[in-house]
Amino acid sequence: MKLRLEARPAPSRLAVWAAPLIAALATLAVGFVVFSAFGKNPFAAFDAFFIAPIATRYGVAELFLKASPLMLIATGLAIGYRANVWNIGAEGQLTLGALAGGGVALAFGEREWPAAALLPAMFVAGALAGMLWAAIPAWLRTRFNANEILTSLMLVYVATLLLSWLVHGPWRDPEGYNFPQSKLFAANAMLPILWPETRLNAGLLLALAIVALAWLFVRRHIVGFEMRVAGLSPGAAHYAGISWRRNVWLGMLAGGACAGLAGVSEAAGPIGQLLPSMSPGYGFAAIIVAFVGRLHPAAIVLASLLMSLLYLGGESAQVNLALPSAVTGLFEGTLLFFLLAADVLVNYRPRIARAAKRA
Amino acid sequence: MADSPAVVPRLALRGITKRYPGVLANDHVDLDVLPGEIHAVLGENGAGKSTLMKIIYGIVEPDAGAIRWEGEPVQIASPARARKLGIGMVFQHFSLFETLTVADNIRLALEPGQARQLRQRIRDISSRYGLALTPARRVHTMSVGERQRVEIVRCLLQKPRLLIMDEPTSVLTPQATLRLFETLRMLAGGGVSILYISHKLDEIRALCTRATVLRAGRVTGECDPRRETTASLARMMIGGELPHTVHREAPAGAPALRVHRLDVPADDPFGTRLAGISFEVREGEILGIAGVSGNGQKELLAALSGERTLARGDAVTLCGAPVASLDPLARRRLGLAFIPEDRLGRGAVPEMSLADNALLTARGDGNVAHGFIRARSVVAFAKRTIAAFGVKASGPDAVARTLSGGNLQKFIVGREIGQCPKVLIAAQPTWGVDVGAAAQIRQALIDLRERGVAVLVVSEELDELIEICDRLAVIAQGRLSPAKAVRETSAEEIGLLMAGATPRETHAPVVITG
């Protein structure tokens, strides 16, 4: 008896949707082993990790709050990923977006601009800054064929240091007891709260609107179609006259714009000021969200909720079980690992090779 | 079933059955291959030939049935196992790593220890069998015909006892085909069995000593092809009469595609430089360009389609407009349609549906409005194409790579013709396509010509060019001979012009049948 993989004549639609579920179950199994190894009752741990964080109204709001930047960034990245444009630097683009949006908030917030003018200005500035940061790898790729995976990743650290310098230096709050942080944003520079007594804000609506636009672009617009073609078959794209340069630029800029918007959303939402670090790794986690969501806008929304739950669960496990917060990272990594492994089932079917058959 | 019970068949299949969702690819197939026999497996696309060969080569596991090798029951679980038994296969779709060299590709298929003095052995085999190859060349720079040579040489290096050839001659010149036949006869004389898959009935009659005919997954007949006629073989294969291509004389009109002193430098060290190519294709005529692959066809087609753009726009003019510096989409808007030689991965996106593949090039016909896709219009276009060309597919949602080669080719031809082009360029339009589908594609090209479209066909199949073209030119070493009316030339003359590019082949006799 031997397990073999046999190519399927056509990709299995069932496996496309089953693979994330299989990966989630396998991740839970690993969690079971890990919690047991730590000497915790795995069922209590699962409760603390997956149930307790969303058992309250506040918890549910937090789930959507953390899911918003994830779905926003993942949607932008997925547009590029479909065309084989690998933007890994969303974390840096988010940072630059927060920096630019926050800069606008700090400069104009106290001049009592109405929120209806100030917030859009902040988001436009953030999106442009994210695009600018993504444009550097795009230009390097199209001009010098430099690998965008490396250049976009390296720019993350540049962006973090740039923000760090600003909040330690010129933009530091003079009344902030020397903490590296900016002044708090004025009220007109803050996103309105959607659900009273929680932190859930209008950033979620923006994220959902962008997801809907992205769906329209990918599924209904000819350029979205052309980018999918380029990702699936570069030879066919070349034959049909689909421009590779345009795809690189569009893919990078879409990711940069969405990450920049997410940065402003964080600054003008739960954080309310500029800090040396504006995100607990949303820009990187969104890469996993994009793939768990099969690069499909609607599925990305679900995947972002799952990833958000992992963040909340990690915090809860830290507080209630005294487990290190690295557990969150462990679950993220395990989930992606199993997802990529389960993806084999889309194009291959496992078969158990029988002993030689005789007529 | 063996002719002589005293001889143990090298390979015996009994009751081989393979079912795919919705298709019975092989239905209780029996097959005996004797030592030293050249055995043809005949059948239309989708008849189950490829599946059967994949079972023999260990790529696909049969659902039922038994395989005996030299009389011993065996289970061929993998291609490595097949090679260990002594089975070699030359595929119709190549399995080469494009970024590696010829020698590296061959080394990968050999067991460690077999690879000593590989380059020398490649050169020995390629010169012995007339399969010119440069071991240091990278595969991605090579044309389809050249890649096939790599596959053949790779197989021969492993000294197989059963050699499966899946449509091996589709890209060879008549002279090279004859030379390959000599090679195959030499191998068979040395005791190697050969399973020869082809749809070229003349070749099978000239080469093979036995033929098994498959239709819809079942063995429908067995015969000695030397005692059959082309027509009788075709009848067995398609279960009916062969469609005839009808070709009426028609006066040609104004030049629609004009190429004037086209120079294209080679873009890689092994590419062919195009030098001073000039020709024109008039409305209502078919111009054929013959030649052995690797003589500049790839470069010429890229310059015509727009996949390669040139600085001097007037090197190529389309209905009077200079287009050489325009991209493929801009040229399509001016009335160009183009059928590329590779179906999967170039002419079609393998993972996409037929409807999406229609949209790959068909942007007119209301398929796109203000940048947005009109799905209903695209699906209707795909349906029309499927119906007009009798494409065997479950519908516009069928994924391209699930179609057989011939059916996908019919779809691509239909898609390009369906856009009502003013100029159509077709590269190897019937490569690897069965007789029925090939005749249909040729007829479609002729019908297009009669509607006043200018058609350019670049092919390595001389018979086909002579059958459908009004005028013929030959490309050799990046230069194009003056075009001649087909009536005023002969297959011998064209064959010699083609072979002129490869001087070692000129001494071979030129025989063209059909």
- The secondary structure of A123-135 as a DSSP string is HHHHHHHHHHHHH
The set of residues, in sequence order, having a beta carbon less than 8 Å from that of A75 and lying 6+ positions away, is A207, A210, A211, A214, A258, A290, A297, A300
Which residues of chain A neighbour B358 with C-beta distances below 8 Å? none
Task: Return the H-helix or E-strand segment holding A72.
Answer: helix A57-82
CB interface of B with A, residues 70-89, below 8 Å: 73-75, 77
Contact B68, B57 (CB under 8 A): no
Token code pair at residue B301: 């087609």
Write out pLDDT tens, residues B78-129: 888 898 899 998 876 677 888 899 989 888 877 777 667 888 888 888 877 7
Q: Do A240 and B361 touch (CB under 8 A)?
A: yes
For residues B222-240, average pLDDT: 81
B362 vs B348: CA distance, rounded Å: 12
Q: Is the pLDDT of residue B413 over 90?
A: yes
B112 vs B106: CA distance, rounded Å: 12
Q: List chain A residues with pLDDT less than 70.
A: 1, 9-10, 353-359
- Taking one residue from A and the other from B, the number of pairs with CB-CB distance under 8 angstroms is 94
Q: Do A357 and B64 touch (CB under 8 A)?
A: yes
Which residues of chain A neighbour B65 with C-beta distances below 8 Å? 357, 359
- When CB atoms are compared, the residue of B15, B306, B349 closest to A241 is B306
- pLDDT, residue B174, reads 67
Write out pLDDT tens, residues B331-368: 999 999 999 988 888 999 998 999 999 999 998 878 99
- pLDDT, residue B244, reads 59
For residues B149-168, average pLDDT: 85
Token code pair at residue B378: 């695209």
The set of residues, in sequence order, having a beta carbon less than 8 Å from that of A144 and lying 6+ positions away, is none
- pLDDT, residue B514, reads 35
**Where in chain A does DSSP place strands (E)?**
2-7, 348-353
B402 CB within 8 Å of a chain A CB: yes
How far CA A141 is from CA of A152, A240, B348, in Å, comes to: 10, 22, 27
- Higher pLDDT among residues B486 and B318, named by residue: B318
For residues B404-408, average pLDDT: 85
Q: Which residue in this structure is represented by tokens 């669960």?
A: A313
Residues A333, A337, A341, CA angle at the centre, nearest 5°?
A: 170
- pLDDT, residue B242, reads 58
Chain-centroid distance, C-alpha B402: 18
Residue type, B137: R
For residues B489-503, average pLDDT: 63
Contact A244, A76 (CB under 8 A): no
**Cα dihedral sign, B197-B203-B205-B209:** negative
Q: Do A351 and B345 touch (CB under 8 A)?
A: no
Q: Write down the mean pLDDT value for chain B.
A: 84
- When CB atoms are compared, the residue of B74, B75, B359 closest to A225 is B359
Contact B443, B413 (CB under 8 A): no
B286-290/B274-282 β-pairing: unpaired
- When CB atoms are compared, the residue of A9, A241, A351 closest to B328 is A241
Token code pair at residue B343: 């179906």
Q: Is the pLDDT of residue B161 over 80?
A: yes
What would be the CATH architecture of the domain defined by A41-322?
Answer: Orthogonal Bundle (1.10)
Q: Where are the domains of chain A?
A: 41-322
Which residues of chain A neighbour B348 with C-beta distances below 8 Å? 236
Write out pLDDT tens, residues A35-94: 888 888 888 888 888 888 899 999 999 999 999 999 999 999 999 999 999 999 999 999
Among B341, B360, B404, most A C-beta atoms within 10 A, so best to mutate, is B360
- When CB atoms are compared, the residue of A11, A221, A229 closest to B349 is A229
**Cα dihedral sign, B168-B172-B174-B180:** negative
Find the Cα–Cα–Cα–Cα dihedral A164, A169, A173, A174, rounded to 10°.
160
Q: Do A225 and B373 touch (CB under 8 A)?
A: yes
Go through the domains of chain B in sequence order and give each one's CATH number: 8-81+193-240 (3.40.50.300), 342-420 (no CATH)
Q: What is the ipTM of this complex?
A: 0.83
B372 CB within 8 Å of a chain A CB: yes
Residues B415, B417, B418, CA angle at the centre, nearest 5°?
A: 60
- When CB atoms are compared, the residue of A6, A222, A235 closest to B346 is A235
Write out pLDDT tens, residues B417-452: 999 999 999 999 987 777 778 888 999 999 999 999
B499 CA: distance to closest CA in chain A (Å): 30
Among A4, A14, A239, A348, most B C-beta atoms within 10 A, so best to mutate, is A239
For residues B461-472, average pLDDT: 86
DSSP annotation of A294? T
- pLDDT, residue B502, reads 38
